[in-house]
Every structure is written in structure tokens, then in C-alpha cells.
Structure 1
Amino acid sequence: FSPADRWPTIDAFKAELIALGGTFRLRAAAMTDVGRVREHNEDAVLAVDYTRESLVDPAQSHLYVVADGMGGAEAGEIAAAIAVQTIRSYIESRLESARGEVTNGAELLTAALEEANSRIIEYVASHPESRGMGSTGVCALVAPPDAAVAWVGDSRGYLMEGATLRQVTKDHSLVQRLIEIGQITAEEAHTHEHKNVITRSLGARQSGPAGAEAVSLKLKRGDKLMLCSDGLTAHVDDRQIHDILGRNPDPFDAARELIVAANAGGGTDNITVIVVYAS
């Protein structure tokens, strides 16, 4: 309804229509860093592309996973590794049976996270010394232009559309719950004494589901998707994320600068980030 939002000429409108019918390309960078305080990196990261070559019916899909493990005696590293491996195996088996087609990414990802939850519970049952271990998880499955993001815990997913950045996940954490019921503000959450307490995680219970959630998205050319562990968001706020994603035309440079910024802010935890650019 606003004239300022309309195409200035018929040629500009035509160019947009041609672009919409063209090839959709994704560029991604995945990085993880131990940070400045921890001795071990208990995060795990995965970025993998699936392509079905066909002149008649080609297909492409992309899986991205960030897992933030927790638990002593290197148990966190094991939990994160189990999460990533299980999610990958689950998605690959479903893609293979569906000949590479993704029909409901959100449903697939939540099921994959719940499968990872079961595998971690089974590991703890057979390794009592690892009791208390678990992992958060955030993952994205993209079959352009469709995308889905699913999560458990406080690892996050963000989408940048044009100049607008929004968090598409909602933390499963105590401070998020306090924000929702009005006891604290989002600003107060950053310094709250219980800011690291999460309310859901993979392997948190001896039985039952983890409570994974998911959202479905439609990507457009120029959109930027970011997944990260809380080691990033503990020190880099949304304004800085917006600035870094907006300034860097290459996802590798954006991912590297995000990790540098988290370390510059203190680096008190492991830092993992995946940046995906659609063009």
C-alpha cells in the first residue's frame, strides 16, 4: 500500500521476477572455538550438503547442526557428538528413503532431536559415570526456498531479512521464562545470576521426550541464517550480530568476526557459529 515499497519501473519488476525464477544458491561457513576460559571444547558442529543430480528432477538440501554439550569428565563432548551424529544419521536415512525430497523439514528435525535425546539417555544408562551429561541442540534443514529450524535448550537460530534481524528460536531457559511472566526484562536477563540455567536439554531426563520445538521459514535471496551456541550470545548482543552479518558479504568472514567478537567480550564459554547466506 506504500508507494515507497513498490517497484519504480516495469523493468525493475521484470528483473525481480526473473531473479525469483533463477537458481537458488547457498553459501555457508561453520566454525567452533574453545574460547578464552575453558580447557576443552564441548561444542560440536555439522554442515553438510545433499544433492540429487538430475536433468529432469534435481534436488538439493542442506543440514546444519550446533550442539553444546554439558557434564563433567568430558561427558559434554560425548553428548554433543552423539547429538550431531544421531541427527545426521536420522536426516540422511529419511532423505534416502524419500529420494532426496524434503516434505516437512520442521517435523523431520524435531524427530531427529528427539532421537538424539533417546541415544544420549541410552548412553548414560550404560555408562553411569556420565550421569548428568546432556546437550543443547539447534539445527536447520534447508531445501531452497523452504527451511526449518528446530531446537532444544538455549542454542539459537537467527534470520536476517534485508536490514531486519530476528531470533527465530526461543530459549528453553529460566531467564526466558522469567521474561515471559514479567519478572525481569530482556536486558536484566544478560546479568541475571541464573542466566545459564536451561529448562530443556537432550538427555536431561531418564526417560521421555526432550520437548524439541521447530519453526518453518521461507528463504529469499539476500536472507542470512545463523545458528550458534550460547557462548556467542553471552558476549555478542543482537545489535552486534546485526552489524557483523550486515557488513560482511562472505559468510566465512562473518563467522570469523562473530567468534572474534565473543572472545573479545570475554570468551567465557566455547563458541560455535554457522552462517548461511542465500543468493
Structure 2
Amino acid sequence: MTSFSLSSMPDLSGRTAVVTGANSGLGRVCARVLAAHGARVVLAVRDPTKGAEAARAMSGDLDVRTLDLADLASVRAFAEGIDEPVDLLLNNAGLMAPPLGRTADGFELQFGTNHLGHFALTNLLLPRLRKRVVTVSSTGHRTGSIDFSDLNWERRPYRAMAAYGQSKLANLLFTAELDRRLTEVGSQVRATSAHPGLAATNLLRAPSGRREALGHRLFTALARDAEHGAMSILFAAIGDVPGGSYVGPAGVLQRGAPAVVGRSRAARDGDLARRLWDVSERLTGTSFPVGVVPG
């Protein structure tokens, strides 16, 4: 596998990409790079004013559209508004360890936004997808577990980082089961996932406690900027990697070039992935399109 960098990016003229959370951080970098290499890029953002501001700082064929992943009605409206083939779907937007909150549909905010919103969006767009779906996870998935008895943290004391870990593990399980289903129906679409390593984005907000603040300063000192963090996502989107791959920066402290990397045992559990898929279908009211072979 050859090393991936911006200089190795192909011409993407004639392709359309949808990038969630494209107004800031990793999503903004990915949108800018894809557009600069010829792709038509749909910036799927919760705040269209911020999306338009981000688009003005880019060059290329850009389209800003409203998408609130914490509201399934918004997800459906966005998907219904996409009436063209989509080559690349980058499920990038996400939250990291906010206080306990609920989506418009009553789901715990991180699980509902990071996983369920993207799950619904992907299934709704699948009939128009042609190349690849990339879902951004995190090394934090290794601390996660799927508690089917309390997915929405209604019975347990809320722990923000544990909820984050659950949502990021869900991202990887979703990718694995999606790719299995795509392969089963003979689709040419691949599902991959990626993590940016230690990337300094707007997710890294300073916590309030002294010990946590010290750890946060150390973390951000080691982190690379969003430009480097986005390389793993872009490689997962257009690189020569197998379906189901998990891509991240290789090397010490995750500071190397993007490569296929390992994941936790739970993230490789096919039975767990299928169970989560079934539950996610019920919660979102969306499903893998029967009789449609995307790609």
C-alpha cells in the first residue's frame, strides 16, 4: 500500500461528495480538499450561516445544505433534497463528551447524533450512493461498550466519556455491518471508517476540573492540527483500501501517514454489529433498502 498525501489525490471531477459537519474542523478540511480536486461538495451543516461562511473560504463547486443529525426529521428532509448520485458520503460530524442532553427524538445526544443520525442518513441515501461511505470513529471506541438495556442513559448515572465511547464503537459496528450487507447484495459501494488520531479540533474543549484541565493541555500539546487529522478520513474515502477497513495515522503517538489500523475485539464482533443494526433500524425507522443495489 503506497503512502497517501495531498499530492497523491486524484482528479475528482464529475464526482459528488456529501460531508457532514463540513463547516469546521476535520469536515471543513475534507470538504475543501475534495472541492479543490474537482469534486462537487455538499456541505451538510446544522447552521447554514456558518456553512456559507466556510464555503466562502473554499474554491470549487460547493453547495451548503441544512442537516441536524440530532433531529431525524431534519435527516429525512436533507436526504429527500438530494436528487443526484452521490459518490462519497463522509459521516464526519459528531459530539465529544458534552453534558447529558437529548436529541429531538429523545435519544442520548452523543449516541443519537454520532451514530443514529448517520445511520439514518446513510440508509436514506444508499439508493443514490455509488462509491464509498466513510464514518468517522475514534480510538475512544476502545473504552466503549454497547449497553442495550440502557442505550440512552436513562437508568445509569451519566458518564460523558463512556457515552462517547459507546457512540464511537457504534460507528465501527455500523461500518462493519453496512459493508457486509453491501457485499452480500453485490454492490460496488464500500463502507470504511477512520479516526484522525490526536487532532486539535473544536471537539477538544477544555474541561473545568484542575486534573482534567492538565490532561487536556497535555493532550492538545501532542495533537496535530485538523489538516493532518483529515488525511485518514480522505484516505478512507478515496484510497485503495478494502471495504470494512479502519484507517488511522500509523506510527508512534499516531503521528504517521494514514494506514489500515486495528480495532478493539468488540468492534470486530459480527453478532454485536447485527444486533446493533436491528436496534438502530427500530429506533430510526430506516433500513437497508431492499431490492436496491447501490453503486
TM-score, normalisation: structure 2: 0.29
Higher strand share: 1
Q: Tell which has more relative contact order, 1 or 2 (C-alpha 8 A, sep 6+).
A: 1
User: Larger Cα Rg: Structure 1 or Structure 2?
Assistant: 1
